[in-house]
Structure 1
């Protein structure tokens, strides 16, 4: 078996997807009438604005997001998840993102998606992209039901470093085991992890990340531009 020489890490929302799956999940719940639309939409939009501004408290947000999941029985959640994938996610899995991932897979790189969005929302998305490894915020599950509590620490900001290193450690590896470590992200919220890899790639970057990337001489990639 060919030795893995490179590691390729990918943020998900606005990086591999041209949308924010976390926010869109909330919008979807409102659209299908699964939640109190006025209150939920207001809070969902407020958290999203905080994330964009870099001021989001990830623990507070996950209490909101996972607390919402806890209101549904597993069968209902599975039905909603399938509908969300069909209506919202699959139309936004675009050829450019698939091609980028496939290029790394074809090279024999170890590939993982590292996202602040919770595992319930993102696990079927990673599967649809053909990515085996997913690092995401883990909801606590007891007796098959999501409790509404976060398991461990959030996978945001510095948390992405913590969780990525822990995942590699489970395989007996560190970042130093790889000749090249790529991280693709759109957001300044990911500067901690971007700053420690050998190949930080600002992908569809927001204004703050684009400015930082230009100053550091990092590669910029507009994945979804024609």
Structure 2
């Protein structure tokens, strides 16, 4: 069987100029009628874990703990609204990366999004970009609600393992494939393919790019994106719960 090349894309900070889980969390809490302080408190809690050296996989688990009891269908519906709001706001996508994705698709490569984010956030992005496969964190659900638990976040080595499993199922040629990422947790992803591209200004990633002769691509400043969006979700919903 002839093996097919693929293009593997990290999402947050690579395909999009934002962190989908946090931007969606801000949107969801505002839509549910929580004050802005609720998002700030949760964001600071997770940032403090990162500053204390807690592994990214564990902060990912901690993020999903806040979803315990949330209705799966309601979260999915809010994610669709969030995505439309992001598109309306503008600056959501990294245009250079999206153009590369489209070029890979025209060349016949399998388009795969690989992300620590979850399917509700990623589904509208994947549909909009016509991605073929989404490999992501899948929070546990029971009886139509999130339990707040995650078996294994799609972070670090989990990305490489998921890619190798997909390669076996889909008969992919990894040496002819390309991967894109922006964070050190993406290194296992970038090392799986014959070609890799580093997106962004992370110093450690820039050093890795120099060491491996990987191309370096820019992205918009996340600080400017955050400043652009700050408070907009709260204003949009006037702090009122959704019916």
What's the TM-score bracket when you normalise by the shorter of the two chains?
0.7 to 0.9
- Counterpart-to-counterpart distance in 1, 2:87 and 2:194: 30
Partner of residue 225, structure 2: none
1:63 partnered with 2:65: no
Alignment check: 8 A CA contact 2:110 2:132 kept: no
- SS of 2:112's partner is strand
- Counterpart-to-counterpart distance in 1, 2:148 and 2:71: 12
Q: How many residues align?
A: 219
Partner of residue 6, structure 2: 7
Q: Which runs of 5+ in 1 are unaligned?
A: none
Alignment check: 8 A CA contact 2:156 2:188 kept: yes
> What is the Cα deviation at residue 106 of structure 1?
0.6
Partner of residue 106, structure 2: 106
- Counterpart-to-counterpart distance in 1, 2:14 and 2:106: 20
TM-score by length of 2: 0.77
The answer to which structure, 1 or 2, has the higher relative contact order (CA under 8 A, 6+ apart) is: 2
Question: Which deviates more, 89-98 or 207-216?
Answer: 89-98
RMSD over aligned Cα atoms? 2.9
Partner of residue 119, structure 1: 119
- Counterpart-to-counterpart distance in 2, 1:4 and 1:62: 34
TM-score by length of 1: 0.82
Partner of residue 86, structure 2: 88
Alignment check: 8 A CA contact 1:8 1:104 kept: yes
Q: Which runs of 5+ in 2 are unaligned?
A: 222-243
